[in-house]
Structure 1
Amino acid sequence: MDLFICSTIALFFGILLDFILGDPHGWWHPVIGIGKIITKTEKIVRSIFPKTKKGERVGGIVLAVVVILLSVAIPAVLLYAAYWIHPIVGMVLEAVMCYAMLAAKSLKTESMKVADALEQDGLEAGRKAVSMIVGRDTERLDETGVIKAAVETVAENTSDGVIAPLIFMGIFGALGGFFYKSINTMDSMIGYKNEKYQYLGTAAAKLDDVVNFIPARISAMMMILSAFLCGMDGKGAFRIFKRDRYNHASPNSAQTESVMAGALGVQLAGDAWYFGVKHEKPTIGDAKRTVELLDIRRSNRLMYATTVLTALVVMGIRIFLIFANISF
C-alpha cells in the first residue's frame, strides 16, 4: 500500500481519536518526551556555553537544533520500523502519533473546567482552574478576567494546539506534527523574556513565530468562515480581525483572538500580570457587551467548527491527490 495513502488513513483516524478521546495523559505522551529532551539539552547547553548574551544566544540555537532533530528522528525510526513490519502496524502507530499531536477535545475539556468551577464553586475555584491553562498570574483576576483568560486560551490554542499541527501533518504526516510540536513546546518552556531565558530562549521564540506565521492566518480565515456557519457574527469577526490582528507582542497570537472577539462581540486581552509584574497590553475587539460565562462554551463551539472545517479541507486535498495519483 502506498505510504501516502497509509499516512492519509492514519491522519483521519488520528483526528477521529482526538475528537472521541481527547488528549492522552501519562508518561508516554510525546509532548512530555519532548519536554524532557528540552530540559536535559538545556542543562548540557548551559554547562558548555558561556553565560554571556552571545553565548546564551548561540547556545539557544544549538538547543533548538538538537531538540528538533531528536524530536523528529526518534518517531521517524519508530515509524520506519513499524511500516517495515507491516503497513497496518505503521498506520496504527502513525494514527496514535497524529492523535497525540492534536488537542481539540482537551482544549474544550480544560476550558470548560474553568466554566464549571466558576459556576459551581466560585471565583477562587475559577482562578485555580484557569491557572492550569494560562501563563499569567491569576490571583488578581475577577470573574470577568477569568472568563476572558479562558476564552483567549481557546482562541489562541485553536491555532497552536489544533490547526497548526493539523496543517503540518496534512503536509508531512505525523513527523510534521512532531516537528511543529518540538518548536511549540520549546517556546512554551523557554521562550520567555525573563532573566533566565532572555537570550537562551530567543531562537525558540523566533522559530515559533516563523512556523506559526502561515498557520495562524489560515486558522483565522477558517475561524471567520466557521463563525458564519455557526450563526455567530461573521462580519464582526472579519472586521475585528482586519483591525486588531496585530494587537499583541506576538505576530501570530492576535490573529485568532481578534476573530474570536469579533465573533462573540466582546473585548479581549488588555493589561495582564506575569511573575508579579504588570504588562500593559492593547485590547482586542469592541466591548459591545460584558463577557459572560456562556462565552467559554461559545468559544469552544467556534473552535470545534474551525477544526472540523480545516480537517475536511486537509483530508479533501489529500484524497484528491490520491485519486490524482500524486504523492509526496
Structure 2
Amino acid sequence: MSVLILAALLIDLLVGDPRCLPHPVVLMGSLIQKCEALIRKTATDATALRIGGVLLVIAVCTVTYFITQGLIWLAGTVHPWLGLAVHLWLLSTTLAVKSLHQHARAVAEPLARGDIVTARQKVSLIVGRDCENLNEREITRATVETVAENTVDGIVSPLFYAFIGGAPLAMTYKAINTMDSMIGHRHQDYLYLGWAAARLDDLANYLPARLAGVFYSFLSIGSPGGFTSTVRAVLRDAPAHPSPNSGIPEAAVAGALGIQLGGTNYYRGEASHRPFMGKEKYPLTYRHIQQALHLTYGVTALTVLAGVLVRFVLESRF
C-alpha cells in the first residue's frame, strides 16, 4: 500500500487533475445535489431536515466507498495490473498538491507584477469571501489561509485515510469533505440539512489537522517565525477559530512565517470577523504565498514518511 500511495502522490505532482479525465468529486457533487433535492421534496421542518441530512451523509459515504471498492475489484478481475492501475488513479484523485500549488501561484504571480485586478480574479476562484476590493495584503492573507487549510483537507487527510484503508477510505473522506463544502456551511438554508455533514467533516479532520500542526511545528525550526512562535500560535490562537480544525494549520503557518492571519472578511457584503492567528513580525507580502507552499511540501513529505513508517512497523509485527 505504501508504494501505491507514493506512486499516487507522484502522479498528482506530475499530472495533477487532467481535464480530459472525469474527476470523482464532480460525480460526488452530482450525487449530493440529487440527494438534497430528494430530501427537500419531503422534509419541511428542522427535525426532518436533520434526519434527511444524516441519511444523505450515510448514503453518499456508503455509495462512494463501495463503488470505489467495486471499481478496483472489477478491474482486478480483468487483470491484476489493471486493478492496481485503477486503484492508483483513484488514489491520485484524492490528492491536491499540484492543484493547490497552481492556484496559489496563479495569485502570487500577478501580485509580483503589481497586477491587483488579475490577482483578485484568481483568488476569487479559491476563496468564498468577497474579493472585489481586496488589496495586496488581503489577497495574500486569503491565499495563505487557503493554502494552510487545504494542506489538511487536500493532502494530509486524504493521505491519512489512504494509509489506513487505501483508495476506498480516502475517497470516502473526499466525499465527506465535498458534502461539507456543499451543504455544511452555516447559511440558513443548510443550518439543519448540513449539520451532519459539517460535524462528520470536523470529526474526519480532527486527527489529521493535529498531525499537521505537529509537522508544521517541526518544520518551523529555523523558519522566519521560529519554533516557539509556531507552537504558541497553535496553542493560543487555534482554539479561537470557529472551526475546530482549520485554526491549527492557519495558526501554525502564521507562527512559522512570523505573520498574522485572520481579521475581517466580507461575504455578500456582510462583515465576518475571524480571530487573529499569530503575531505579526513581518508585513504580509506576496512572497509569503510561496513560503506557505514550501511548508505545504514539507508537511506532505512528513505525512508520507510517517505513514510509511507506521505501516512498516505494523506490518512487521502482524
Q: Residue 160 of structure 1 aligns with which residue?
A: 153
In structure 2, C-alpha distance between the alignment counterparts of 1:21 and 1:162, rounded to whole Å = 15
Q: Does 1:64 find its partner at 2:57? A: yes
Q: Residue 139 of structure 1 aligns with which residue?
A: 132
Q: Find 2:11's aligned residue among 11, 17, 28.
A: 17
Q: Does 1:33 find its partner at 2:27? A: yes
Q: Find 1:281's aligned residue among 268, 274, 285.
A: 274
> Structure 1 residues 38 and 229 mapped into 2: Cα distance closer, same or farther (>3 Å)?
farther
**1:12–1:315 contact (8 Å) kept in structure 2:** no
Q: Residue 3 of structure 1 aligns with which residue?
A: none
In structure 2, C-alpha distance between the alignment counterparts of 1:149 and 1:130, rounded to whole Å = 7
In structure 1, C-alpha distance between the alignment counterparts of 2:151 and 2:113, rounded to whole Å = 26
Q: Which amino acid aligns with 1:20?
A: L
Deviation track 1:202-236 (CA, whole Å, cap 9, x = no partner) reads 11111111111111101111111122276762222
TM-score, normalization by structure 2: 0.95
| Residue aligned with 2:291, SS | helix
Q: Does 1:175 find its partner at 2:168? A: yes
Q: Does 1:53 find its partner at 2:39? A: no
**1:230–1:302 contact (8 Å) kept in structure 2:** no
**1:236–1:262 contact (8 Å) kept in structure 2:** yes
| Residue aligned with 2:112, SS | helix
In structure 1, C-alpha distance between the alignment counterparts of 2:10 and 2:309, rounded to whole Å = 15
| Residue aligned with 2:134, SS | coil
Q: Does 1:307 find its partner at 2:294? A: no
Deviation track 1:116-159 (CA, whole Å, cap 9, x = no partner) reads 12223611211110011111111132110000000000111111
The residue correspondences of 1:70-89 to structure 2 (distance < 5 A) are: 70-89=63-82
In structure 2, C-alpha distance between the alignment counterparts of 1:93 and 1:27, rounded to whole Å = 13
Q: Which moved more, 1:98-107 or 1:54-63?
A: 54-63
Q: Does 1:123 find its partner at 2:121? A: no
Q: Residue 112 of structure 1 aligns with which residue?
A: 105
Q: Give, in angstroms, the shift of residue 275 of structure 1.
A: 2.3
| Residue aligned with 2:259, SS | coil
TM-score, normalization by structure 1: 0.92
Q: Give, in angstroms, the shift of residue 22 of structure 1.
A: 2.1
**1:115–1:126 contact (8 Å) kept in structure 2:** yes
In structure 1, C-alpha distance between the alignment counterparts of 2:273 and 2:314, rounded to whole Å = 48
Percent identity of paired positions between Structure 1 and Structure 2: 36
Q: Residue 4 of structure 1 aligns with which residue?
A: none
**1:10–1:92 contact (8 Å) kept in structure 2:** no
**2:230–2:252 contact (8 Å) kept in structure 1:** yes
**1:136–1:273 contact (8 Å) kept in structure 2:** yes
Q: CA RMSD in A?
A: 1.6
Q: Residue 237 of structure 2 aligns with which residue?
A: 244
In structure 2, C-alpha distance between the alignment counterparts of 1:49 and 1:12, rounded to whole Å = 44
| Residue aligned with 1:303, SS | helix
Structure 1: segments with no counterpart, 5+ residues? 1-6
What count of residue pairs does the alignment treat as equivalent? 318
